[in-house]
A and B are shown apart, each in its own frame.
Chain A
Amino acid sequence: MPGTPAGRWAVPPDGTPPETSPVITGCGLAVSGLRDEYDLLEPTATGAEHDPDAGRAGPGMRHKDRASRLALHAVRRALAGAALPDPAATAVVVSSNFGNLDTVCDFTDTIAAETVTGLSPIRVPHMSSNVTAGWVALEHSLRGPNITLCSGTTSGLDAVFWAATLLAAGRAEAAVVVGVEPDTAPVARLHREHGARSWLDGAACLIVEKPEHARARGVRPRAVITGYGRAARRDDAVRQATKAYDRPLGLWVAPGPGGLDLTARLGRCSGALGVLQCAAAAARFDRSADDAVQAVAGDEHTGARTEGDPGGVAALLLTRPESGHPGGDRHDIRV
């Protein structure tokens, strides 16, 4: 319907009461040089360089593709050792544009050199674009809807929107949202051929749940997912996302000058960008008095900038929870 933002989930026409909007209650990162989401706010890296995929031979990691290992690390950190109370009612939403590209390319090389008999049967599931979402569900017995999005640079913010939509539609009580992009040989070649000098090798995870679900299990809401928009132009996407919000915006987390530009620091983040942006927003509410963070991903100019993505621009408005207060504890959980 023209004029209706395709991206908002305001259920009744009079608007969704804020307390029913889904909340982010957990964040986990597996990114070199970053200890946790608070490091996303620092203009210079503070954490020691480390391989985000360290422990690849650890429990549950052997024989998995790199994207899935990174994602599993991020999910373990986000859950911080706590199991979700109702795995049957927990959805998984993964955003990744290049997660299985190495398996796809490796397989064609192997077939050319050795025919199909050279392929490893263990790696066969890795050729599917949804392999990571499958492993995340399997490791934590998550039986709700299991969605993989590969929609370009908007994909990470889209993933948070779809998680919120699944909750609003009564399909789940909670969702594990992951953005992951591994640095593999084909990914590096693709980025280099298209003007990039650096790109992410890592994953981010958010736990998104209904506020009453968070209350019932005694976890602290860290950010409220308040609005979403998707449009050809950035202004229009932001307008859709902020339609029901009239207070001042605090931080902008967006590519380009004038806000927190995670791609300036981490390189192209592709499908992981939006998820990292939301983690940064959750950290920001703990470290400032801002009431809102506006996350923007995607490119309104489909030519040279960023990844030349024609999928338009996605905008997600995150707001401070009612009960929120600055100064949340830094969690140093290491898995």
Chain B
Amino acid sequence: MTWDIVGMGAVSCLADEPRAIHEALCRGESGVAPLRAFDRAAFRVQNAYEIDDRAVPGRDEPGRASRWLRAAVAAALADAGLADAGPADAGPADAADTDGDPGGSRFGGIADIPVLVGTTLRESRSAELWWRDGSELRPADLHFARIMRDAFGTVRTHTVASACAASLYALGMATDLIALGAAETVVVAGTDSLTESAFGGLDRVQHPAPRSVRPFDRDRRGMVMGEGAVAVVVRRAGTHHRPAHARVRGVAMNCDATHPTVPDPASVTSAVREAHRRAAIRPEDVDLVVVHGSGTHHNDVVESRVLGEVFGPVRPGPLVTSIKSGLGHTCGGSGLMSLVVAVLALQSGVLPPITDLRRPIPEARDLRLVAGGPALGDFTTAQIHAIGLGGINAVAVVGKAT
């Protein structure tokens, strides 16, 4: 069984729609900039890949992850032809709901569509601003049901908080719903904004402080957080009235259960093999891999070993890239963001390079890392990795729409 990707939307530090993001990455752009969200004096890490959209520069505000999610989902639905324009301007759910579904009229027919939102941090930033600065927080503001109900009328929102593998997990869960006949169409999304607790926590355990994400480079220092949201509309293959962007061939998800923070190469390898099995492909069918590539010491060594293990005998082997040098680590949404870029590479034949990759790590010597400029080719099959805290892995295989 396969699934069609019929709509895509994304918001990031580089651009606010998928094609513009793909083009900026192909030009080797990076969205890294001096930290704006928090008082820089309290941190050692001084940079981030932020979306600079605060009403008052330098003053953080609640609800940004929800805002981008709404924009990305609206764009994906519009791209799929399931909505006319931008987000509906519905009032708060409290006012609208006494009986029946509120909102949704402008997005006619989508109130029954499940929305699976992958996120590492949910609206934790809103909680921080509530706890310390006294802004308002309702219990339900921590997850994304309200924003999805207000904007699109759906009451089938699931907030999937499986760390930085969350949005690819959500994709796997969506394919299951469709395969089991429980839905025909699912919106899969991811969103995260910088939180002080996560940014500070990562800062605390990374020495020396990274200035940017440098995947697979000897001079990498670790992960720098980014902000963004991404959404795709997934349908049972062949049921949509418009051509699909690409086809999901299979998604694997598992857990290392070996260490809270260090990924286990055997477990990641097993997720890759399971994804191939579900997609009914062989390693030599894979043209390109968008790795997790978070630029930490452990991650890049582990992914190099995994790719060596899976693709070792294959010549020349797939092209390998990471989008995190351009977009930062966008946490829960990062896997789906990688997938959207992979889909655009299948469509355009242009695969973005790892921005700023100069001296590859020795473990990656046999990999065809894309550096210096985009790689061109007639790509048909892409593999995407997402690896999250707690040892959780998701691997997706997407193919060119036929």
A59 within 8 A of B: no
Contact A137 B137 (CB under 8 A): no
Contact B41 A87 (CB under 8 A): no
Contact A232 B155 (CB under 8 A): yes
Contact A2 B112 (CB under 8 A): yes
* CA–CA, A144 and B93, complex, Å: 37
Q: Mark A257-295, 1 if CB is under 8 A from B, else 0.
A: 000000000000010000000000000000000000000
* CA–CA, A313 and B205, complex, Å: 41
B246 within 8 A of A: no
If A105-B128, A310-B146 touch, whether A128 touches B94 (CB-CB below 8 Å) is: no
* CA–CA, A233 and B100, complex, Å: 7
If A115-B41, A230-B155, A309-B145 touch, whether A186 touches B127 (CB-CB below 8 Å) is: yes
Which stretch, B11-19, B161-169, B314-322, B346-354, touches the partner chain A?
A: B161-169
B: contact size bracket: 35 or more
Residue A117 contacts which of B93, B97, B121, B204 (CB distance < 8 angstroms)?
B204
A78 within 8 A of B: no
Contact A115 B257 (CB under 8 A): no
Q: Which residue of B lies closest to A109 (CB)?
A: B132
| Chain B min CB distance to A129 (Å) | 4
Q: Mark B158-188, 1 if CB is under 8 A from A, else 0.
A: 1111110010010011001101111111000
If A117-B204, A127-B201 touch, whether A310 touches B93 (CB-CB below 8 Å) is: yes
Which of chain A's residues have a CB closer than 8 A to the CB of B267? 143
Contact A137 B140 (CB under 8 A): no
A231 within 8 A of B: yes
B44 within 8 A of A: yes
A32 within 8 A of B: no
| Chain B min CB distance to A56 (Å) | 18
Contact B183 A6 (CB under 8 A): yes
* CA–CA, A155 and B205, complex, Å: 32
B105 within 8 A of A: no
A5 within 8 A of B: yes
* CA–CA, A1 and B200, complex, Å: 43
Contact A165 B139 (CB under 8 A): no
Q: Mark A120-143, 1 if CB is under 8 A from B, else 0.
A: 010111011111011101101111
A307 within 8 A of B: yes
Which of chain A's residues have a CB closer than 8 A to the CB of B149? 302, 310-312
Interface Cβ pair total, 8 Å cutoff: 279
* CA–CA, A10 and B183, complex, Å: 11
Contact B390 A131 (CB under 8 A): yes
Contact A92 B182 (CB under 8 A): no
If A104-B127, A151-B159, A310-B145 touch, whether A115 touches B43 (CB-CB below 8 Å) is: yes
Which of chain A's residues have a CB closer than 8 A to the CB of B130? 190
B219 within 8 A of A: no
B254 within 8 A of A: yes
* CA–CA, A328 and B138, complex, Å: 41
Q: Which residue of B lies closest to A3 (CB)?
A: B112
Residues 98 to 139 of chain B near chain A (Cβ within 8 Å): 98-102, 109, 112-114, 119-122, 124, 127-128, 130-132, 137-139
Q: Which residue of A lies closest to B254 (CB)?
A: A143
Q: Which residue of B lies closest to A8 (CB)?
A: B182
* CA–CA, A165 and B307, complex, Å: 30
B202 within 8 A of A: yes
Contact B121 A129 (CB under 8 A): yes
A203 within 8 A of B: no
If A8-B182, A11-B180, A312-B156 touch, whether A125 touches B145 (CB-CB below 8 Å) is: no
Residue A171 contacts which of B201, B203, B253 (CB distance < 8 angstroms)?
B253
Contact A97 B142 (CB under 8 A): yes
B389 within 8 A of A: yes
* CA–CA, A313 and B137, complex, Å: 22
Q: Which residue of A lies closest to B41 (CB)?
A: A115
Contact A145 B253 (CB under 8 A): yes
* CA–CA, A190 and B255, complex, Å: 32
| Chain B min CB distance to A42 (Å) | 28
Which of chain B's residues have a CB closer than 8 A to the CB of A140? 257
| Residue of B157, B161, B173, B391 with most partner-chain A CB within 10 A | B161
* CA–CA, A124 and B200, complex, Å: 9
Residue A147 contacts which of B128, B162, B200 (CB distance < 8 angstroms)?
B162
Contact A151 B200 (CB under 8 A): no
Residue B122 contacts which of A105, A129, A300 (CB distance < 8 angstroms)?
A129
Contact B255 A128 (CB under 8 A): no
Q: Which residue of A lies closest to B145 (CB)?
A: A311
If A11-B181, A130-B163, A309-B139 touch, whether A302 touches B257 (CB-CB below 8 Å) is: no
A9 within 8 A of B: yes
If A150-B143, A232-B100 touch, whether A111 touches B196 (CB-CB below 8 Å) is: yes
Q: Which residue of B lies closest to A193 (CB)?
A: B137
If A116-B44, A130-B388 touch, whether A169 touches B182 (CB-CB below 8 Å) is: no
Q: Which residue of B lies closest to A126 (CB)?
A: B201
| Chain A min CB distance to B393 (Å) | 9
Contact B139 A307 (CB under 8 A): yes
A80 within 8 A of B: no
Q: List 21 contacting pairs A-B, 8 Å CB cutoff, sorted by A.
A: A1-B184, A6-B113, A6-B156, A7-B182, A105-B132, A108-B132, A109-B132, A116-B43, A149-B159, A151-B157, A152-B143, A165-B182, A168-B176, A171-B176, A190-B130, A300-B97, A303-B94, A308-B94, A310-B145, A310-B155, A311-B145
Given contacts A116-B204, A302-B149, 9 further A-B contacts (CB under 8 A): A3-B112, A105-B132, A105-B197, A145-B169, A146-B390, A150-B143, A152-B143, A186-B131, A307-B140
Show the binding face of A for B, using Cβ within 8 Å.
1-13, 87, 92, 97-98, 100-101, 103-105, 107-112, 115-117, 119, 121, 123-125, 127-131, 133-135, 137-138, 140-152, 155, 158, 162, 165-166, 168-169, 171, 186, 189-191, 193-194, 230-233, 270, 300-303, 307-313
